[in-house]
Amino acid sequence: MLLSSAIRFAVLAALVCVMAIFFCPAAAGPYACTHGPVTAFRARRLALVVFTLLVVCATALAQAISAAINLFRIRNRRAARDVAPSCTQRLSLCCSLLC
C-alpha cells in the first residue's frame, strides 16, 4: 500500500511539474536568444518557397507558350493544305479556259 501511494505521489508530482513548465516557462530574454536562430531558418525556407514558385510559374508559362505556338503551327499547316488545292484547281481551270 505504501508503494502504490509513492507511485501515485510521483505521478502527481511529475504531472504538476510538466504543467508548470508548460504554463510558466522559465526561459527569459529575447526570442532569438532563448529559441535559437529561427528567423534565419524561416527566411531561408521562405526564399526556397519563393524560388520554387518562380520555377513552377516559369515552367507553366513556357509550356503554355509552347502549346500556343504548336497550335498556331498546326492551324497554319491546315490552312496551307486547304488553300493549296483550291489555288491549283483555280489555276488549272483558268489555264483550261484560256486554251
Q: Dump pLDDT digits (tens) for 29-85.
A: 776 666 666 777 888 888 899 999 999 999 989 888 888 888 878 777 765 555 555
Q: How far apart are the first and last CA of the chain?
A: 127
pLDDT tens-digit profile of 7-18?
888 889 998 888
Q: Cβ(34)–Cβ(27) under 8 Å?
A: yes
pLDDT value of position 53: 92
Cell of residue 57, nine digits: 510559374
pTM of the model: 0.41
Contacts for 86 with CB less than 8 Å, ≥ 6 apart: none
Going through the chain in order, the beta strands assigned E by DSSP cover none
Strand, helix or coil for residue 55: helix
Sequence ranges of the domains in the chain: 2-98
